[in-house]
Amino acid sequence: MNNNFSKKILIVTDFYTPHISGIVTYIDQMISFFKKKKFIVTVLTTKHNTDLKISEYHKSINIIRCNPTFSISRGTYSFELIKKFLLIYKNYDYINVHYPLTEIFPLIFLLKKKNTILNYHCLPEFGILNIIFKSYFYFFGLIATIKSKKTVVLSKDYFENIIFHKYFSFNLLEIPPFVNKYDAKLINFSKKKNKEIIIGFLGRICKEKGIEILLKLSDLFIKRNINHKILIAGNLNDKRFKKYIDNLLFISKNNKNIEFLNKINEGDKLKFFNRIDVFILPSVNSFEAFGIVQLEAMNHGVPVIATDIKGVRSVINKTSNGFLFKKNNVKELAEKILKIKDSNQLNKQSIIKKTKDNYNKLLFEGLVEKLF
């Protein structure tokens, strides 16, 4: 990469800060590399909150937010984003599209293969009744891979296991996210004296995460007289998932073993991971294509049990820092938790080392460099 002059890159995404998600976390990791290489970075995105500024310069990034025209499921479609893209895209050396992007049509026909980098995060899941929306994202996602210089995925396991996608992997580059370094002095390495198993979940409280299995798990442990606590951390006031959240709270209202912590900030994450013995990622559909939160847990020395679904399973398969279980199989999940409890190999030092060996910033930056 030639660093003698600044290159300009336009990042196009439906999701950006202050929106909180794995996609935003990953975009920020890429931006940190772009800034290191003296790129001039602009983010073109959708305005999800009326209080947000239309345009701002934040942390050396120019952010342009566009008003949504109408809503599609959990996302929006913005004619204004298309209009602004048309006005500015020719001024950039590189276009970096983060998919899923609802405005992929008609933007896809303006992209030039020589300077387009596609980050294919996931294929949205809409259910059988919304087959038109799913077909839209499936079809234009494939077209986008053909029209891109490189297609970046967090996991080849995810992309290549979507039907027919393996035939479009000729320009594929797997670049998983990295974990930030933590001060080892802040992590609790001491062994617990009590026999209570503390199980944790951190993320959006929504259907795709499969959180209801944690309630079933608790019922099973109660029947088996297994001393346990399940901590569920996530925004309980998210209006998008109000019906689902209310149902979980109602079902578990008499279960003293389940504690909803609501949304926790970055400072509270350390306390959360220090408190739990095992982290569960029970995701059930393709909206979860990797699960960056797994890396956060492992980076604090916490073993992980995750659903054996494409993409998500790649982290445990690569690190051996936990176990996989079949989707919605509560008995297998219970067995894997007890297996972790009795394991001497899954100690915190070992988990942290294997996580950093496989998902570090140096590896990440070396792979991103290959895009240019």
Contacts of 306 (CB under 8 A, 6+ apart): 280, 281, 282, 283, 291, 294, 312, 313, 315, 316, 322, 324, 325
What pLDDT, on a 0 to 100 scale, did the predictor assign at position 49?
A: 86
Q: Which residues make beta-bridge pairs with 278?
A: 199
- Report the CATH superfamily, name and number, of domain 184-357: Glycogen Phosphorylase B; (3.40.50.2000)
Radius of gyration of the chain measured on its C-alpha atoms? 21
Instruction: Round to whole Å and give the CA distance between 118 and 87.
Output: 20
Say whether pLDDT at 343 is over 90. no
Instruction: Round to whole Å and give the CA distance between 312 and 282.
Output: 10
Q: Which of 248, 251, 220 is nearest to 232 (CA)?
A: 248
Fold match flag (8-175 vs 184-357): yes
pLDDT (tens digit per residue) in 200-247: 999 999 999 999 999 999 999 999 999 999 999 999 999 889 999 999
In the chain, the percentage of residues whose pLDDT exceeds 90 is: 80
What pLDDT, on a 0 to 100 scale, did the predictor assign at position 84?
A: 98
What pLDDT, on a 0 to 100 scale, did the predictor assign at position 4?
A: 44
Count CB atoms within 10 A of the CB of residue 258.
22
Residue 73 carries which DSSP code?
A: T
Q: Which of 73, 78, 77, 81 is nearest to 134 (CA)?
A: 73
Q: What angle do CA 38, 43, 48 make, to 5 degrees?
A: 155
- Report the CATH superfamily, name and number, of domain 8-175: Glycogen Phosphorylase B; (3.40.50.2000)
| Band of residue 3 on the pLDDT scale cut at 50, 70, 90 | low
pLDDT (tens digit per residue) in 99-115: 999 999 999 999 999 99
Instruction: Round to whole Å and give the CA distance between 347 and 298.
Output: 11
Extents of the domains making up the chain = 8-175, 184-357
What pLDDT, on a 0 to 100 scale, did the predictor assign at position 125?
A: 77
Backbone angles phi, psi at 255, to 5 degrees: -100, 105
| Band of residue 134 on the pLDDT scale cut at 50, 70, 90 | confident
HSE-CB for 229 with a 13 A CA cutoff: 13
What pLDDT, on a 0 to 100 scale, did the predictor assign at position 72?
A: 79
Order of strands, sheet of 228-233, starting from the edge strand that comes earlier in the sequence? 258-262, 228-233, 197-202, 278-281, 304-307, 322-325
What pLDDT, on a 0 to 100 scale, did the predictor assign at position 189?
A: 75
HSE-CB for 181 with a 13 A CA cutoff: 4
C-beta of residue 86 within 8 angstroms of C-beta of residue 106:
no
pLDDT (tens digit per residue) in 257-311: 999 999 998 889 999 999 999 999 999 987 788 999 999 999 999 999 999 999 9
| Band of residue 54 on the pLDDT scale cut at 50, 70, 90 | very high
C-beta of residue 310 within 8 angstroms of C-beta of residue 251:
no
What pLDDT, on a 0 to 100 scale, did the predictor assign at position 371?
A: 95
- Token reading at 76: 């929006």
C-beta of residue 302 within 8 angstroms of C-beta of residue 276:
yes
Residue 184 carries which DSSP code?
A: G
Beta strands at 70-72 and 75-77: parallel, antiparallel or unpaired? antiparallel
How does the average pLDDT of the chain come out, rounded? 92
For residue 18, whether the previous peptide bond is cis, meaning omega lies within 30 degrees of 0, is yes
Q: Where are the beta strands (DSSP E) in the chain?
A: 8-12, 40-46, 55-58, 61-66, 70-72, 75-77, 94-99, 116-120, 150-153, 172-174, 197-202, 228-233, 258-262, 278-281, 304-307, 322-325
C-beta of residue 23 within 8 angstroms of C-beta of residue 292:
no
